[in-house]
Amino acid sequence: MALPSSSTPTASAPASLGERWPPLESTPAVFNQFVWSLGVPEDDVEFHDVYGLDADALDMVPQPVLAVVLCFPDPPQAKDASYPSEQLLISGEKETQDQVYFIKQIESLGNACGTIALLHAVGNASSKVNLVENSCLDLFFKSTATMDPYERAVFLEKDDTMARAHLLAANDGATELSDLIEEHYVCFVYVNGTLYELDGMKDGPIKHGPCSSISLLQDVVPVIKAIMCNIPNSINFNLMVLSRKEK
């Protein structure tokens, strides 16, 4: 089961040009300029396309992979869909909740799921990413470190610097905002030996079993295939990874 090239216009949802959180185009060019503008050095990490789920395509992906970002069609029933082996963290699992950086996507954040996926990717790889001191991301993560997912969402919605950066990234895409189709972003990360799916539309992180820094990309393939099978009548899927640059 192959994934289309990132030349396919993909974003989070249709939006007006005046919206505070318009959709982001799902391309490495857009996400790289976005994450670098927020305070991640260009020589530190980089987003890359994943062109297929077969072994040959996965072998082409630069390692080490810190996070995987999937953009996929978001039909109404997707919010209630269940995928194999998923286990939503419950509020009582306080220790695990504190270990996984998660932001809830509240209604006022509109089409910010691309930015939330980026924050999930970097926020859960903070020990491997060298943020510029006092940059937008550095201040954001320091300010929200002790907040719960909803409080982080409220903080993000009010963060004018982040909103301006998001708008610039949205305008950097090659696709007109009015032409973008309804899509949604989720992020996959590994934390303490476990694979987590981070979807701001869900109530919390979803556990998908054992994982390691070496096997992250391979471990996420069955989950992605299950998502694709659940939406069989669409080809609008795009997969990217956030990889650390070897120095």
pLDDT of residue 2: 44
Mean of pLDDT values over 80-105: 63
As annotated, the active-site residues are: 113, 184
In the predicted structure, residue 67 carries a pLDDT above the cut 90: yes
- DSSP three-state, residue 10: coil
Q: CATH number of the domain that 87 lies in?
A: 3.40.532.10
Let me know if residue 94 belongs to a domain.
yes
Let me know if residue 100 belongs to a domain.
yes
Q: What pTM did the predictor assign?
A: 0.86
Q: Are 40 and 131 in contact (CB under 8 A)?
A: yes
Let me know if residue 214 belongs to a domain.
yes
pLDDT of residue 124: 96
**pLDDT tens by residue, 207-226:** 999 999 899 999 999 999 99
pLDDT of residue 35: 97
Mean of pLDDT values over 108-131: 94
In the predicted structure, residue 97 carries a pLDDT above the cut 60: no
pLDDT of residue 14: 39
Let me know if residue 162 belongs to a domain.
yes
In the predicted structure, residue 63 carries a pLDDT above the cut 60: yes
Let me know if residue 213 belongs to a domain.
yes
Let me know if residue 210 belongs to a domain.
yes
**pLDDT tens by residue, 151-193:** 999 999 999 999 999 999 998 865 554 445 578 999 999 999 9
Q: Torsion angle, CA of 212/215/216/221, rounded to 10 degrees? A: -140
In the predicted structure, residue 142 carries a pLDDT above the cut 60: yes
Task: Identify the residue with better confidence: 191 or 7.
Answer: 191
Between CA 177 and CA 214 the distance in angstroms is 37
Let me know if residue 121 belongs to a domain.
yes
Let me know if residue 63 belongs to a domain.
yes
In the predicted structure, residue 11 carries a pLDDT above the cut 70: no
Angle at 131 between CA 172 and CA 38, to 5 degrees: 20
Predicted confidence band at 229 (pLDDT cuts at 50, 70, 90)?
A: confident
**What is the total count of domains within the chain?**
1
Q: Are 59 and 226 in contact (CB under 8 A)?
A: no
Indicate the burial class of 150 (C-beta count within 10 angstroms; 0-12, 13-18, 19 or more).
exposed
Host domain of residue 151: 28-244
Mean pLDDT for the chain?
Answer: 84
Mean of pLDDT values over 142-148: 95
Partnered with residue 73 across adjacent β-strands are 183
In the predicted structure, residue 17 carries a pLDDT above the cut 50: no
